[in-house]
Structure 1
Amino acid sequence: MTKTIVITGTSRGIGFELVKLFAAEGHTVFALSRNDKPVKGLNLDNVFTFSCDLNKASEVSEVAASIKSQVESVDVLINNAGQFLKQEFKDTKMEDVKSVYETNVFSVFDLTHKLLPLMKESTHVVTISSMGGVQGSMKFPGLAAYSSSKAAVITLTELLAEEYKENGPSFNVLALGAVQTEMLEEAFPGLEAPISALDMAEYIKDFSENGQRFYNGKLLQVSSSTP
């Protein structure tokens, strides 16, 4: 049975791999990213791309309206888009902090809210967080804005699951450890992660399709190493 999948942050890394995995099984995929060229270059008939700045509510509204005009429901929403910032706290500018929160927190809130009318009891909303946002986990200097934003979506997930626990949809959050992506290279130059973007995408895909049978409102730490 084909499903309708919405994924953000699809221009590279895990998001890009997720698009390919879902499309290969014939699912209808809506891929959202500032840069839609990589996914467009795949030339996949069942993938619809949107060049969308998730920090702009007007663009999110346009995308949501377009999705609503094409499908009756959404089976999976994967909030994968993330903005990284590594700066010493004393040097951090508030406009940079606000931009990180716009992408990592507010856009998750906004897109989920706007697609809610398309969600069913069986719909699964999966938000991608980071081990850095998990209370009690190892923390790293310079990640005050990024890691705190990733902590925010963990609590948001718990709250939404509680609010919709009677009739769905289901909400879960995955806190990822080190994955070999461009963002990891930015955060920890030279670090070689034990997990590739494709490996993690395969895990997330399976979890997004089946995890709601076993979890709701839960944080799952998906990490084989530290960081």
Structure 2
Amino acid sequence: MKNIIITGTSRGIGFELALQFANAGHQVLAISRKIPQELVVHKNINCLSVDLANESDLVKVEDFLASKWKQLDAVIHNAGSLVNKPFEQLTQADFENVYKVNVFGVANLTRVCIPFLQKGSHVVTISSIGGVRGSLKFPGLAAYSSSKGAVIALSELLAEEYKEHGIAFNVLALGAVQTEMLEEAFPGYQAPISAEGMANYIFDFTLNGNKYFNGKVLEVSTTNP
């Protein structure tokens, strides 16, 4: 049984991951702004309403870890913010809002978790194929894709900085997954894999991927995107 933090659990991949880990007997701390009742009633899930864009909100996570779990086995940075606008219409506020969740939220939560991560722990950051060098880029996603490139660099750096502690950091750069966020950004687009299907892969990778990888970016996509 492992203690696992998952962000972005109100819907989509994060919601499915929380249930998969909990149903498999692991203890889950589900972090999102909105909390689904289905997660609240599960005996293996603790829920915290946290806005990752607000650094002070992370005190709730730190207090929970210090008082309840004491140690942590895995973190899955799944929460994401996406804005789809032509570049000339993107404002600094648009960039800041996306980066607060996709980059600063990842960095700040990781910093809170570091003292509780044990040797053999695994930090998995969900990025996008759009953030990978040389991959196909899509108009309208300047803020989103650049933020996903930033967390790739961050994860690579942290893998080096904490390798002597035995903490692994890896990135999964996902292609299109049929989630509510995708539908909102690209109405009518049909992705080749469901949120539940992608959660199956991330579930296994979180538990086993650090045995084979550290500081790596794995592209998880059958198509572009």
Asked if residue 35 in structure 1 is aligned to residue 34 in structure 2, the reply is yes
The code of the aligned residue for 2:171 comes to V
Distance 1:60 1:157 in 2: 19
Q: How far has the Cα of 1:69 moved from its partner?
A: 0.9
TM-score (structure 1 length as normaliser): 0.96
Match of 2:2 in 1: 3
Deviations 1:180-207 (A, max 9, x none): 1112212322121111100100100100
Asked if residue 24 in structure 1 is aligned to residue 23 in structure 2, the reply is yes
Match of 2:213 in 1: 215
The code of the aligned residue for 1:89 comes to F
Aligned residues: 225
TM-score (structure 2 length as normaliser): 0.97
8 Å contact kept, 2:19–2:39: no
Which residues in structure 2 correspond to 1:67-216 (within 5 Å)?
Answer: 67-216=65-214
8 Å contact kept, 2:122–2:210: yes
Q: How far has the Cα of 1:38 moved from its partner?
A: 4.3
8 Å contact kept, 2:18–2:39: no
Match of 2:224 in 1: 226
Q: Percent identity?
A: 55
Q: How far has the Cα of 1:45 moved from its partner?
A: 1.1
**Local SS of the residue matching 1:166:** helix
Distance 2:224 2:37 in 1: 30
Distance 1:23 1:83 in 2: 25
Match of 2:60 in 1: 62
8 Å contact kept, 2:65–2:116: no
Distance 1:112 1:82 in 2: 15
Taking only aligned residues, the RMSD between alpha carbons, in angstroms, comes to: 1.0
Higher mean C-alpha deviation, range 184-193 or range 3-12:
184-193
Distance 1:63 1:21 in 2: 21
Distance 2:24 2:112 in 1: 26
Deviations 1:74-116 (A, max 9, x none): 1110000000111111111111210100000001000000110
Distance 1:132 1:162 in 2: 24
Distance 1:193 1:62 in 2: 35
Deviations 1:23-49 (A, max 9, x none): 1011110000000134445x1011000
Distance 1:209 1:120 in 2: 14
Distance 2:91 2:78 in 1: 25
Distance 1:204 1:38 in 2: 23
8 Å contact kept, 1:10–1:39: no
Distance 2:38 2:91 in 1: 33
Gaps of 5+ in 2: none
8 Å contact kept, 1:7–1:77: yes
Distance 1:68 1:78 in 2: 19
Gaps of 5+ in 1: none
